[in-house]
Each structure stands twice: as C-alpha cells, then as structure tokens.
Amino acid sequence: MLKRFFSKNDEEPDNGTTKERQIHIEGQDEHVQEAMDLLAQEDQDDLDEALDEVNETVREAARASLRDLRLMQEGHCPSCGHKTLRQFLFTTVCSSCGWFSFISPEEGKSHIHLQSGRTIECGTTFDTKGDFVLGITSGVVRAKVPKENVEYIEFSWTDEEIQRKRESRAKEETGICSWCEKSLADDGDENIIVYAAFGTTQMRYVFCSSKCNEAFQKQYPIRIHKNCYERSCLDCDLCNKRYLGEDETFLKLLEQGKV
C-alpha cells in the first residue's frame, strides 16, 4: 500500500523510450517501426514532431482523466458538472443528466438477453463505438452482438463479490490507517492527521494511533528544509498544495499550546 504514497516526482523524466507500454496491440509493432523509420529517413524533424504530438495527446488525455477524477471525488458529474452523483456498490449515476459508470462482475456472470429470446452468457460485457456489445470470457471475445438486437443485459454477482465490495466501501467511507491499514472505525482513539510532501506534491495521511504515526515518520523521514512533521501546513509554501491542511493534528496541538 505504501508504494502508492511515493511517486518519482523528484526523478528526471525519461525521453519516452523506456516507458512501459500499458497495452500491446498484436501485429502492430512492425507497422509502428516502419512508420518511424520512414519519417526518420525523410527528415528527423518530422519524426520528432510526430513523437511530440503523441506525447502531447497523452498529456491531454491525462489532464482530462485527472479532471474527471477530481470532479468525481468532489461529488460532481464529469459530464454536466453538477454535484448530483449518487454512489452505489458497482455503479455511479448522475441524477441530473443521467451520466453513469459501472463495472461488470469479475467472478459472476453477465447475460446478454437478445430480442429473439436467446441468451448469451459471458464473463463481462463492453459497449463499443461501433454499436456492438462484446461478450468476453476469460480474456477472450466470445460474442459480438449488434446493440439493436439486445433486449437487456443482466449482471449476476456472486455473494462473495458483493460482500467484499460492501466491506471495501465501508473502509473507504471510514478510512484506513496509512501505516497498519486497519479500519479507522475499529479504533476508538482520535485519528492523527498528517500532511507531508516527499516530492513536490502535498499528501494526506491518517493514522489510528500515535504509535503508527511515529512508526511512519521513522520509516519515511522528511527532507530537513521542509520539515513537514514539525511545521503547520498553513505556514508553509514549499510544495504544491492539494489540501488546505486546516484539520492537521499538529495545528490543533499548536493552537492548544501542546507543542
């Protein structure tokens, strides 16, 4: 869990050649290489310009994804912007414009009910831009059905999957300790809230006890010039702020004269 707390913000960015590919498109490697070789032969500047365009497209997509995620975190619909999102176990719906996002069962089944009365069973389904519904089982496309032939799609969740999701949702709502990963609701002590920046961006950590807080600070010391553990966020401008920091425990102790 702690790995996600630390990014490579302080490292030098690479030139894109060592970046791990997220998706391998079968049969396309040769086409990509041929196109790059052709551009390089004609003019290296053409190749550099093409790669710059690709990188800019990736950055724009990342900005759009970040925008949508931040809006949803604040309860706003990424489509209409209204604060009308409703969260269900496997679905998020905007009661204003009807936008929704959902996931299919991972362990259960999906059933595509056709207008003809037939039913196609698969592991999960995907709507495509080509007006088709893909039925996928064990990572393999088993069915490609025109949407006009689909009556409705039924999702059959296993009881175990639903229970795990309920427990996961409860932990998300109550929070978990940033050190021991216990649910904060399981501990009667007052939570300790700490803001720290190990790179250039402020992060928020919540601990269920002073013991976990001290263990975390010992394992992950802050650079001396920042000194996040012994300085209020309100008086500091040495990182990119994501939170106001008004609820940090250090600030409360400072106001009470205990530090």
pLDDT digit string, tens, across residues 52-74: 888 898 888 888 887 887 788 78
pLDDT score for 34:
72
pLDDT digits (tens, 9 = 90+) for 116-129: 999 999 998 998 88
- Residue found by looking up tokens 């650079």 in the block: 223
Prediction pTM value? 0.51
Using alpha carbons, select from 161, 150, 153, 94 the residue that is nearest to residue 125: 153
How far apart (Å, rounded) are the C-alpha atoms in residues 42 and 164? 57
b/e sequence 165-191, b meaning 16+ C-beta within 10 Å? eeeeeebeeeebbbbeeebbeeeeeeb
The pLDDT value recorded for residue 217 is: 93
Which pLDDT score is estimated for 28? 66
Cα–Cα distance between 178 and 33 in angstroms, integer?
Answer: 45
Domain range list for the chain? 32-87, 88-158, 175-255
When comparing pLDDT for 20 and 102, which is higher?
A: 102
Average pLDDT rounded to a whole number, residues 148-169: 88
**Is residue 6's pLDDT more than 50?**
no
Phi, psi of 46 (to 5 degrees): -65, -40
What is the pLDDT, as a whole number, of residue 25? Answer: 54
Amino acid 199: pLDDT: 82
Q: Tell me which architecture the domain covering 88-158 has in CATH.
A: Roll (2.30)
- Segment 35-54 mean pLDDT: 76
